[in-house]
Chain A
Amino acid sequence: MWLAEKELLTETEPNPLIGARAGDLRSFELLVEPLLEPGYRLAVVMLQDRTEAEDVLQEATFRAWRSIRSFRGERASLKSWFLTIVANQCRQTRRARWWSVVRGVTRVRDLAQPEDMVIQRSDLANAVAELGHEDRVALHLYFGLDIPIADVARVLRVSPRGAKSRIHRALKRLRIDLEEQEILQL
């Protein structure tokens, strides 16, 4: 039996995932709208450029629409699926611009638009901005977007162990000691 048919039988309320898979654009919009802000934030962290992040988000959203038919996960895993598409699009953009490698992490300092926000930024935000690209993205996914470690690994295209190690490394650099409960979660 098809997964879509199962869902039809078990759920009483209309499931936009089924509609989206069937090609209904409105259903897809309902699904994707809550994911746009996390996607945008991830793109900003990965690309360090707001304008590029917006372009990437548009492209990733369209790609998600094109491939929603092949999405076989549950609705809960839609967020990590969408963020994976955003991350892949960011990687393509970074590869396409060879000069992106020469742009330092200091570019992050210019991210917040109002000038005075830069001055008011906390020490921790500045320290996060100084992290390496991979560590910063891992940290953002886990703490900033609150994604489970398995999904962080999926987005980063590394093993869960590799994702944990990046987060630990980033925390060590930030000199942040997690509370015991958070360590157990990690």
Chain B
Amino acid sequence: MKNSARTRIASAFDELTGRPQQSLNAAVIADLRRRATVAEPRFSPVARSAALTATTLLMVVLIGLAIWSGVWLYIPIPGVQNEQPTKLPEAQAIQLALRQLVFFDPKVFPHGPGRQDCTIIGGGPYPGMRIPGSCQTSAVVDGAGGWLVTFTEYWDAIRFSSGPTTGTLSYRVTYDVDANGKVTQRYQGGDFPPQEAY
């Protein structure tokens, strides 16, 4: 056999890579000795598993504490309104908003969250039209310690409508009650209401 393929290829690689410098081995060993002496401590398997166990336990304790204290309630989640505790009680916020109610008759709305039958006193010739309907009060948390209180009246379109003659129509007023009890009207609108009839 003149020259086997194996030998020829090995020689080709020898040509390509060349021989390493003679000092390379000494340099690598010297570097190894230097780093081995100042190397980071090599943790024994026991120490490593102990550290892992301690870390796991710590994580479990922290998660348990978070669950117990309800911390997650304060973590803002995009798109979700968190149920934060408010300084102003809900009932008090509704009372404050009811006092500001001008467009509607405050007596016909529930003094707490809910919906009840009511008679809507509309406009028109004295004493005004009377439309049977329902009145709803609702309150949702808004901002730090504040509330959004909404009063909505519903009536049947057959009874009163400036447009469609079927279905249920509604009109609402919304107030922003902040933590200090300051009331600001946020919104008023809906279908054409009986109050504005003349």
A116 within 8 Å of B (CB atoms): no
A129 and B9 alpha carbons, distance in the complex (Å): 11
In the assembled complex, the Cα of A25 lies from the Cα of B31 at a distance in Å of 12
Q: Which of A29, A117, A139, A174 contacts B15 (CB 8 A)?
A: A117
Residue of A with least CB distance to B25: A36
- A54 is contacted by which of B8, B24, B36 (Cβ under 8 Å)? B24
Interface presence of A178 (CB below 8 A) = yes
Contact of A22 with B by CB under 8 A: no
Contact of B13 with A128 in the complex, beta carbons under 8 Å: yes
User: Which B residues are CB-close (under 8 A) to A127?
Assistant: 12
Return chain A residues, CB-CB under 8 Å to B180: none
Cβ A40 vs Cβ B16 within 8 A: no
The interface stretch among A6-14, A92-100, A106-114, A156-164 is: A106-114
CB 8 Å contact bits of B149-191 with A (1 = contact, 0 = none): 0000000000000000000000000000000000000000000
Q: Which of B2-22 contact A (CB under 8 A)?
A: 4-6, 8-18, 20
Within B101-139, the residues touching A (CB, 8 Å) are none
B15 touches A176 (CB 8 A): no
Task: Tell me the smallest distance from the CB of B139 to a CB of chain A, in Å.
Answer: 58
CB distance from B41 to the nearest CB of A (A): 11
Contact A62 to B31, CB < 8 A, known contacts A40-B24, A179-B4: yes
Contact of B35 among A29, A62, A124, A139 (CB under 8 A): A62
Q: What CA separation (Å) do A161 and B30 show in the bound complex? A: 39
Q: Are B18 and A111 in contact (CB under 8 A)?
A: yes
Q: In A33-70, which residues have CB < 8 Å from any B CB?
A: 33, 36-37, 40-41, 44-45, 50, 54, 57-58, 61-62, 65-66, 69
A41 touches B1 (CB 8 A): no
A58-B31 in contact (CB<8A): yes
Q: By the criterion CB–CB under 8 Å, are B24 and A57 in contact?
A: yes
Interface status of B32 (Cβ within 8 A of chain A): yes
Distance in angstroms from B105 CB to nearest chain A CB is: 73
**Interface pair B28/A57, CB less than 8 Å apart:** yes
Those of A111-127 within 8 Å (CB) of chain B: 111-113, 117, 121-122, 124-125, 127
Question: Contact: A128 with B16, CB < 8 Å?
Answer: yes
Hey, which chain B residues are within 8 Å of A113, CB to CB?
18
CB-CB nearest in chain B for A127: B12
Closest chain B residue to A178, Cβ basis: B5
Q: What is the bound-complex CA distance between A127 and B5, given in angstroms?
A: 14
The residue on A at minimum CB distance from B34 is A62
Give the CA-CA distance A121 to B25 in the complex, in Å.
26
- Cα distance A68–B16 when bound, in Å? 31
- Pairs A–B under 8 Å by Cβ, sample size 28: A25-B32, A29-B32, A32-B32, A33-B29, A36-B24, A36-B25, A41-B17, A41-B20, A45-B13, A54-B27, A58-B32, A61-B28, A61-B29, A62-B31, A62-B36, A62-B39, A65-B36, A112-B18, A113-B18, A117-B18, A121-B15, A121-B16, A124-B12, A128-B16, A143-B6, A144-B17, A176-B5, A179-B4
7 smallest CB-CB distances across A and B, nearest first, come from A144-B13, A143-B9, A125-B15, A125-B12, A124-B12, A44-B17, A40-B20
CB within 8 Å of A: which residues of B? 1, 4-6, 8-18, 20, 24-25, 27-29, 31-33, 35-36, 39, 42
